[in-house]
């Protein structure tokens, strides 16, 4: 059976895998982004952090968070899924937790970099206009850092698209199911078609997310700093 014929006969199943893959990434990236952005804002060296914290301690805490999250990103995916499986079982839960862990570092790194890149003169001007720490963050600093943060979220999504395939080892949803099934029976009927369908399916999901991020960035980036 040719690949086109295989896709035509299994279009409903492949569409279902695409929906699973897309939603798994949506939840994982959303969770990782919420954690990373909140942590980045909290640890950023500005007046939102408690006055009892010294500047060195805040900077050290920020670097420690980056170090820990980057170390988590280097853990082999098979090992992490294997560690989570006894605690969380099979299916969506270990898949979501593992992908969330992997997604924190790119977003956190870009959040810290984006907030740090805001010109201090702009913040001084906002302070001179009477804006307090929270209003400076919400109205000035965060919007200016937003394009960099979105880029971090985009990178995290692209990284997780491939890692989500490995979630099939714990019965996770998405294109890992047909891909691993095809690899396990390579040489049998339609095994190559399954592998090819899983691979191309990931590329389609990546293309959809690229379009989504382009639209989101165009709609949410302040016009004055839009490239």
pLDDT by residue (tens digit) across 136-183? 888 888 888 999 999 999 999 999 999 999 999 999 999 999 999 888
Over range 210-227, report the average pLDDT.
80
Would you say residue 109 lies in a domain? Answer: yes
User: pLDDT confidence of 224, banded at 50, 70, 90?
Assistant: low
Would you say residue 164 lies in a domain? Answer: yes
Contact 117, 86 (CB under 8 A): no
User: pLDDT confidence of 19, banded at 50, 70, 90?
Assistant: very high
- CA-closest candidate to residue 169, choices 76, 73, 82, 89: 82
Would you say residue 217 lies in a domain? Answer: yes
- CA-closest candidate to residue 209, choices 153, 165, 146, 145: 153
What proportion of the chain, given as a percentage, has pLDDT over 70? 90
**Residue 221 structure tokens:** 């980036």
What is the per-residue pLDDT for 111?
93
Q: What's the CATH code of the domain at 204?
A: 1.10.3720.10
List, in order, residues 6 or more apart from 98 with CB less than 8 Å away. Answer: 77, 80, 81, 84, 163, 167
Give the chain's domain count: 1
Contact 210, 121 (CB under 8 A): no
pLDDT by residue (tens digit) across 55-107? 555 566 777 888 888 898 899 999 999 999 999 999 999 999 999 999 999 99
User: pLDDT confidence of 48, banded at 50, 70, 90?
Assistant: very low
Distance of CA 148 to the CA centre of its chain: 14
Would you say residue 187 lies in a domain? Answer: yes
**Residue 107 structure tokens:** 């977003």
Would you say residue 49 lies in a domain? Answer: yes
- CA-closest candidate to residue 48, choices 123, 104, 152: 123
User: pLDDT confidence of 49, banded at 50, 70, 90?
Assistant: very low
Would you say residue 21 lies in a domain? Answer: yes
Residue with the two structure tokens 């395939």: 165
Would you say residue 120 lies in a domain? Answer: yes
Residue with the two structure tokens 């839960």: 93
Would you say residue 227 lies in a domain? Answer: no
| DSSP letter assigned to residue 186 | T
Domain hosting residue 148, numbered range: 3-222
């Amino acid at each position: 059976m040719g690949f086109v014929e295989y896709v035509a006969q299994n279009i409903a199943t492949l569409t279902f895998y695409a929906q699973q893959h897309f939603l798994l990434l949506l939840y994982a990236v959303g969770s990782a982004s919420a954690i990373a952005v909140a942590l980045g804002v909290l640890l950023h060296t500005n007046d939102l952090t408690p006055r009892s914290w010294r500047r060195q301690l805040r900077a050290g805490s920020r670097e420690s968070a980056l170090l820990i999250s980057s170390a988590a990103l280097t853990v082999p995916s098979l090992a992490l899924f294997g560690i989570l499986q006894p605690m969380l079982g099979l299916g969506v839960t270990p898949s979501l937790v593992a992908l969330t862990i992997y997604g924190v570092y790119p977003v956190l790194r870009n959040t810290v970099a984006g907030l740090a890149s805001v010109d201090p003169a702009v913040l001084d001007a906002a302070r001179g206009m009477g804006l307090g720490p929270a209003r400076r963050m919400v109205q000035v600093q965060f919007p200016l850092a937003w394009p960099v943060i979105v880029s971090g979220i985009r990178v995290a999504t692209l990284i997780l698209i491939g890692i989500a395939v490995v979630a099939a080892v714990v019965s996770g949803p998405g294109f890992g199911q047909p891909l691993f099934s095809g690899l396990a029976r390579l040489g049998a009927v339609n095994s190559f078609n399954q592998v090819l369908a899983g691979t191309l399916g990931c590329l389609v999901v990546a293309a959809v997310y690229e379009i989504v991020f382009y639209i989101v960035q165009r709609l949410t980036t302040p016009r004055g700093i839009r490239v």
